[in-house]
Structure formats: structure tokens, C-alpha cells
Chains A and B, each alone.
Chain A
Amino acid sequence: MPDAHQIDIHHVAKLARLTLTEEEATRYASQLDGILTYIDTLTRYDLGGVEPTAHAMPVYDVLRADEPRPGFTQEQALSNAPKRIADQIQIPKVIE
């Protein structure tokens, strides 16, 4: 684990698709540093050789029969779209 938490908060925000004001960036960087310092508790234990746990009650290979079944209607799927055009979701132009 890194010794100091030199978080490039603007880079992280970019990855998270968030924009931050300078005031927010300063505040979050300082708060995250405090939280990460606490999380360093984990480095005090030897975890070598311990298997990671993803789920406490793991269920594997959940499959269903590959058969047609009812799903959302077009109207249901589109009912919350912020912008619609011709029964599709409209977004800003992506191809010049």
C-alpha cells in the first residue's frame, strides 16, 4: 500500500465522470486522505496466503434455460428516458 496518499483528485474525478470545483477538489482530497489513512489499518495484518472473499454466500454458475421469455415492452423501457425520438433514446450527436 502506498505510504502517502498523493491522490490526483482531478484524475480520479475524470475516471469517475465527475467534474469538481476547486473548492470541492481540495475538500475531497483532504477527506479521502483521512479515510485512506484509516484504511491503512489493513496493512497491519499479514494477509499473505489468505483467500479473498467476494461473496459471503457464494452461488456459482447460475444459468437459465435459453428460451424466449417476456421482458420489458418498448414503452416500459423508454418510459423514463430523458429524451426520446422515434421510439429510441436520443443523445447528443457522437459522429461528425
Chain B
Amino acid sequence: MLASSTIAALRKGLTAGEITPRDIVLDVAKSIEAGNAEIGAYLSWDVEAALAEADRADITKPLGGIPIAVKDNMNVTGQPCTCGSRILAENYTAPYDAGAIQKLRAGGAIPFGRLNMDEFAMGSSTENSALGITRNPRDLSRVPGGSSGGSAAAVAGDLAIAALGSDTGGSIRQPAALCGCVGIKPTYGRVSRYGLVAFASSLDQIGPLTKTVEDSALLLNHLCGYDAHDSTSLNIEVPDFTASIGRDIKGLRIGLPKEYYIDGIHAGVSASVQAAIRQLESLGAIIEEISLPHTELGVATYYVLAPAEASANLARFDGVRYGHRSSSAGDLLEQYTKSRSEGFGPEVKRRILLGTYMLSSGYYDAYYIRAQKARTLIRNDFTEAFKKVDVILSPTSPTPAHKLGELKDNPLAAYLEDVFTIPVNLAGLPGISLPCGNVEVEGKALPVGLQIVGKALDEATVLRVAHAYEQSR
């Protein structure tokens, strides 16, 4: 089963001549064909195209011959890019490679397979996809989290070796936590957003979902870096992230925000995270209580800024240049409204309406500017905290995976689940989620995720702590 292996192990096999890129693609394809009907992680996959790439793969490159599955909101030439939406499902084929895909290809990787997601990345359960249900591989009656639910389910269910996701308010870390794999959101600006279909441009960031911390470090090496096509891309040196792992964490200072360890966290989640804290302490880390006093503002701030930015970004879907065009429209205005109303699903409409309202005349200062000010306070909280500690530790999600349909009619309750991940996007910081045990619910072992947040651009320390913990378990 090569599909259940890691990038690091497969690279050894490739270099030693024991396996070929073709073997790997065929094995992953076999796993998808056997398991996808049940899990629903993939929306599409093109085996012939991937085999053609495998046959000309350069295995001397660091990711040479490794297939990577891609969330269905990143453009890969010749592949669909549905964003889990009917508006792009019918007849869109990507005419170019996203910046992150160009970088992956330069490292030798093969983009293979398109992964399900909440429509336009709006959601935390993948139930907002218009194109199919994705199930949690650890318990098929439960959601995989989201919005990168297809990515997490594919990696945790061994239907992919590794995958790309995108994270606007926790959309890599939360599904990684709920499915039991590793997922990292890099510092804002580390990875190019060119060719990632925009949701909230000041928050969106691409990152890897993998089986191990080492694989995340490997992939980050080939995802990060300047791209002139993205005006928010950071033109700074990218370190070798694999060099930071394997070092001990003696004397490293870990902060526990007192505002995060509150009622409302599932008892099993709390127990797993407390055990992880003790484990890190036994590895020599110094545990300190810290304060992030404006934590309470995080979710409210996010649900102003993200819908506001989304309402502007999604204005481009008007049925003119690409995407669904209504067949029953008379004039141009009717073509816009009918194409959009037929093409967008309920959560996307809800957020477009919310964002449009908050940006409309008379409300802009009361909502948008106020939220941007609150964002400053949240960011300052982290700046102050990082004067005292090297990383900040919390649960990734306050609960394990919900049942399918459980939060369907209560959008606000679903939004509040993102309380630990959202502030990290607002502050633009790197954050990882990695497995830290299981909680028994109805006879099933549901994974719990541990979130480690670092200083801006300090993915190296985040990975170092995550790796030390992972290896000690």
C-alpha cells in the first residue's frame, strides 16, 4: 500500500530504485477507486494524465514522482476547479497553474486528483459542497471538518499521500484535527495565492495536509516563496524547514492562553490536550500561562471581514467570462442575477448578503472599519504574548467531529467552532494542527488535534515543537 506511505519513505524507495513514480500513481488510483465511493474525498481524478506525468517525472528532484492531491479551489492546467460549487462545475477547465502548483511542479511533484470542499471554502464540515458528501474516515457517520474536508479525509483515509488545502479561518487545521492528520497554515504571504480562487484575500493561505510533520516540512520547502503574480507575496528567503525538525525543545517556552482553556471544550478534547502539555513538559519545554485578552472578539471580527471580502471577490461570478450562465436570462442584468442565484448555494448566498450589507452605504464604518480595528487588538495580543513565549498551544477545535447534519440549520453555532483557529488568520501567523490522541464517542475513536501557533515567519519553531511531540508519542 504505497498510498498509505509518507513522502519521505516513498522518496527513499524511488531513489533506491525499488519503486517507480508509475507504481505510486497506480497505487493511489487503486486506493481512490476502492475507497472514494464511501469517503467521498475526491470530486475527480485523471489517472491517465497523472501516469503521463509519472513517466516523465525527474526523480532526482526533492519531490520527484510524488503525487499530491489538490483542493478543488486551486487552478491546475487542464483540470477542473469547481470550488465545490455548481457555478464552476459545468464547464470550467483551468487554463493555467496556480503559483503554489508551479512551485510544487518545480520540485518534481505531480498534482493528482481534485478534493471536495465547502463551497468556495465557506464552512467547517464540507457539508456546504454542492457536489457531494465527504465522510470522516474514522467514523463514516461524521463530518471530516472543513473547508478542506476532502484534503483531510483523503490523507487520513490513505486515499492520498499528501494534499494541499487552503485556510482562511482554520480550513486546513480544523479538518486535519477532526480526521487525525497533520495540517499547517503558513504565515500570511509565505505561499502565493495566485490561482487560488479568492475567498477572503487578507486571510487566505495555502498549506499542506500530510501524515507526518516531516512531510509537512518537506512540502513547505516547495510551496513557499515569492511570486510576482501575488502582490501580498513576501519577497524573503525561505529556510530549509526540514533542518528545523529533529532538534530537542529543552528550555523552549510554550504559552497557554488562559482565555482558551474555558468551559465549552469537550472533556475528551481537554484531557488529550492536557496530556500533550504534560508530554511537552517532560521533553524539557517550559509551560507558562499567557493572556490573549481580546480572544472574545475573534469570531465576530472574522465574520465581518471574511464575508465583506468574499462579497467583493465573488462579484466576478457573473456568467460572462467563465462559470455558469443562466439559459433563461433576457437582458444583461438578469443574466448576472439569474446566473448567480442559480449557481451559488445557501451558505455562499448567506455570506455574500452579509458582506454586502456590512459594506453598504451607512454601515461600512460600523462594521468593516470597526472589525479592522478589532483585528489590530487581536494582532497586538499575539505580539505581546510572543515577547514571553516561543509558541502558543491550544486545542485546534473545541469538539471532535460532529455527526453529518448536526449543525446544518444553525450557522452561528458552526461559526463558533472556529474560536481557536480564527485569531491565527487575523494575525497572519503560522499554525499547525497535529494528532494528540482520541476521544471515545459511541464506540468510535475520534481524533483530537493540538494546535501550535508561532511568531510570524517562524514556521521552523512550530515544526520543531510539533515534530518533537509527534516523535515522543
For B375, list chain A residues within 8 Å (CB). Answer: 52-53, 56
- Would A42 and B412 count as touching, CB distance under 8 A? no
Within 8 A of B (CB), among A25-62: 28, 31-32, 34-36, 38-43, 45, 47, 50-57, 59, 62
Interface contact A92-B188, CB-CB below 8 Å: no
B318 within 8 A of A: yes
Complex Cα spacing A93 to B319, Å: 14
- A57 contact from B187, B311, B319, B333, Cβ within 8 A: B187
Q: Is the CB of B188 within 8 A of A57?
A: yes
What residues of B have a CB within 8 angstroms of the CB of A47 in the complex? 370, 373-374, 377
Are the CB atoms of B300 and A42 closer together than 8 Å? Answer: yes
- Interface segment among B122-130, B172-180, B259-267, B345-353: the answer is B345-353
B242: A residues at CB distance < 8 A: none
B370-A7 in contact (CB<8A): no
In the complex, residue of chain B having the shortest beta-carbon distance to the beta carbon of A16: B356
Residues of A close to B301: CB separation below 8 A: 42
Most buried by B among A9, A40, A42, A72: A42
**B38 lies within 8 A of chain A by Cβ:** no
Closest to B326 in A: A82
Q: A15 within 8 Å of B by Cβ?
A: yes
Interface string of B371-389 (1 = CB under 8 A from A): 1111111010000000000
- How near does chain A come to B296, taking the closest CB pair, in angstroms? 6
A39: which B residues are within 8 A, CB to CB? 300, 303-304, 367
Q: Mark A74-96, 1 if CB is under 8 A from B, else 0.
A: 00110111110000010111100
Q: What are the residues of chain B within 8 A of A68 when measuring CB–CB?
A: none
Tell whether, in the assembled complex, residue A82 and residue B427 are in contact, meaning their CB atoms are under 8 Å apart.
no
The complex places the Cα of A93 from the Cα of B331 at a distance, in Å, of 7
CB distance from A77 to the nearest CB of B (A): 8
Write the nearest CB–CB distance from B323 to chain A, whole angstroms: 7
In the complex, which residues of chain A have a beta carbon less than 8 angstroms from the beta carbon of B376? 50-53
Mark B322-350 against chain A: 1 for CB-CB distance below 8 A, else 0.
Answer: 11110001111111111011001000011
A82/B360 contact (C-beta < 8 A), A17-B340, A32-B354, A45-B294 known: no
A50 to B336, CA, bound (A): 39
Task: State whether the Cβ of B415 lies closer than 8 Å to any Cβ in chain A.
Answer: yes
Interface residue B36 (Cβ < 8 Å from any Cβ of A): no
Binds A, one of B42-50, B89-97, B149-157, B279-287: B89-97
Which chain A residue shows the least CB distance to B349?
A18
Q: A16-B356, A32-B357 are in contact. Are A56 and B427 (CB under 8 A)?
A: yes
Contact of A1 among B337, B341, B367, B428 (CB under 8 A): B367
Contact status B367-A35, CB under 8 Å: no
| B271 close to chain A: CB less than 8 A | no
For the complex, give the distance between the alpha carbons of A59 and B232 in Å: 6
Separation of A18 and B372 alpha carbons in the complex (Å): 27
Of the candidates A41, A83, A94, the one whose C-beta lies within 8 Å of that of B331 is A94
- Can you list 26 A-B contacts (CB < 8 A)? A16-B311, A16-B356, A18-B337, A18-B353, A19-B337, A20-B349, A24-B349, A31-B412, A32-B350, A35-B412, A39-B304, A45-B377, A47-B377, A53-B376, A53-B379, A55-B188, A56-B429, A56-B456, A57-B187, A57-B189, A57-B232, A59-B231, A80-B95, A81-B320, A91-B320, A94-B332
Given contacts A35-B415, A45-B297, 13 further A-B contacts (CB under 8 A): A2-B366, A12-B353, A12-B360, A17-B333, A19-B337, A24-B349, A50-B377, A56-B379, A64-B228, A76-B95, A80-B93, A80-B323, A92-B329
3 closest cross-chain pairs (CB), A and B: A56-B428, A52-B372, A80-B322
